[in-house]
Amino acid sequence: MSLQNFISKAISPWMKNEGPDSDIVLSSRIRLARNIEEIEFPIIASKEKLENIIEIVKDKFSKHTHRKFGELELLKMDDMKPNEKRVLVEKHLISPNLSDESKAGAVLLSEDESLSIMVNEEDHFRIQILLSGFQLDQGLNYANEIDDWMEEKVDFAFDQKRGYLTSCPTNVGTGLRASVMMHLPALVITRQMNRILPAINQLGLVVRGIYGEGSEALGNLFQISNQTTLGKSEEDIVDDLRSVVVQLIQQERTARETLLQQSKLQMEDRVYRSYGILSYSRTMESKEATQRLSDVRLGIDLGLITDLSGSILNELMILTQPGFLQQYAGEILSSEQRDQRRATLIRERLKLENNA
């Protein structure tokens, strides 16, 4: 497969850098945890019972066309090769937990991948809406729509006092997790992030790296989400997150202006050196790639680099993950081979861009 072809197949719309404020907010995500009434949570349910849920999904959801999201494809974890699952994890469409741990896990995917419903992860259902840019409200609308659509056909475990019941107590109530992925290089370079992070935590929000809990904030990418799901309405949870994100966007923009005014040459040198290394290197670890892609993306956003489109960070961040590299190579690769393929893929991708 040609690289161009591979990319056009691999890229989901949310990676395309098209949403509002997409110079800073890469993506917005809404997730609702739901369980079917009177069936045990996946942690204690037998494999048979969980397979029964998949039958319900087949019957009630995957065979019907949804008004907005079209036909949903059902993928069972047992039917997939390890690397196919890995690619879905890297695209943020399923969790590592569903891929590796679930007894009868599956996922329902819309064709544009903006909707994914994990089946038999920690809960029976995890409805996820993933959109490009800063679109939390839109995400919540879509998630509610899917929630209603599903509730027409199955009864969800619900308690009048507590709200939706979930496997883990931290999700009880709304079952909602709202999150945004933000690119905040100027706040990192100007050393403001260390001061900002504790303040965000105090507001009841959680900051993580790009691959969820416990992952490092590589490439100046920060995933910010709500911690509380109980005692607040869905709208209030999203509002609280949104107001913090709006402030962060403002702070990042101010920091970028400061960098341009006070150290333009140093910034230009930094982003172009990373551009040069990405264009020429022959082997590169994932961590370095992420950092250098962040530099180049900042250079684009600052108007210092003009011959590249802003979506390359989003794209290449995903395409240079191990699963994707192996999918493109058509074989399982050692760590050294991946580093080499990663450098090659980035070089070829940048060349495509320069030829365009």
Strands 176-183 and 221-226: antiparallel
Span 323-352, contacts to a copy of itself by CB under 8 A: 340, 343
Confirm if 154 and 60 have CB atoms less than 8 A apart: yes
Confirm if 234 and 174 have CB atoms less than 8 A apart: yes
Rounded CA separation 227/246 (Å): 18
272 is an interface residue for a copy of itself by CB under 8 A: yes
The per-type count for the chain, helices as H runs and strands as E runs, is 13, 11
CB of 352 to a copy of itself, least distance (A): 17
Q: Which of 282, 303, 331, 355 binds a copy of itself (CB under 8 A)?
A: 282
CB of 272 to a copy of itself, least distance (A): 4
3 is an interface residue for a copy of itself by CB under 8 A: no
CB of 203 to a copy of itself, least distance (A): 39
29 forms beta bridges with 130, 179
Chain centroid, CA 18 distance in Å: 15
Residue where the block lists tokens 């999918």: 327
**Stretches 81-89, 124-132, 233-241, 264-272: which one binds a copy of itself (CB under 8 A)?**
264-272
Q: Which of 253, 268, 310, 352 binds a copy of itself (CB under 8 A)?
A: 268
Of 87, 116, 93, the closest CA to residue 10 belongs to: 87
Region for residue 344 given its phi and psi (left: phi exceeds 0; alpha: psi -120 to 50; beta: otherwise): alpha
280 is an interface residue for a copy of itself by CB under 8 A: yes
CB of 274 to a copy of itself, least distance (A): 8
**Stretches 85-93, 134-142, 171-179, 278-286: which one binds a copy of itself (CB under 8 A)?**
278-286
132 forms beta bridges with 27
Query: Who contacts 31 (Cβ-Cβ below 8 Å, separation ≥6)?
Result: 126, 127, 128, 129, 143, 176, 177, 178, 179
Confirm if 35 and 120 have CB atoms less than 8 A apart: no
Span 166-195, contacts to a copy of itself by CB under 8 A: none
Q: Which of 253, 283, 329, 352 binds a copy of itself (CB under 8 A)?
A: 283
Query: Who contacts 216 (Cβ-Cβ below 8 Å, separation ≥6)?
Result: 209
CB of 255 to a copy of itself, least distance (A): 20
Tell me whether residue 228 or residue 279 sits nearer to a copy of itself (CB atom): 279
Rounded CA separation 351/318 (Å): 18
**Stretches 27-35, 65-73, 131-139, 272-280: which one binds a copy of itself (CB under 8 A)?**
272-280
Helices 264-280 and 335-355 meet at what angle, rounded to 10? 110
| Total interface residues for a copy of itself by CB under 8 A | 17
User: Which residue ranges make up the annotated binding site for ATP?
Assistant: 27-31, 92, 126, 177-181, 208-213
Tell me whether residue 61 or residue 275 sits nearer to a copy of itself (CB atom): 275
User: Which residue ranges make up the annotated binding site?
Assistant: 27-31, 92, 126, 177-181, 208-213
Buried b (16+ CB within 10 A) or exposed e, 101-135: ebbbbbbbbbeebbbbbbbbbbbbbbbbbbbbbbb
265 is an interface residue for a copy of itself by CB under 8 A: yes
Tell me whether residue 137 or residue 268 sits nearer to a copy of itself (CB atom): 268
275 is an interface residue for a copy of itself by CB under 8 A: yes
Tell me whether residue 136 or residue 267 sits nearer to a copy of itself (CB atom): 267
Q: Which residues here bind a copy of itself, judged by CB under 8 A?
A: 265-266, 268-269, 272-273, 275-283, 340, 343
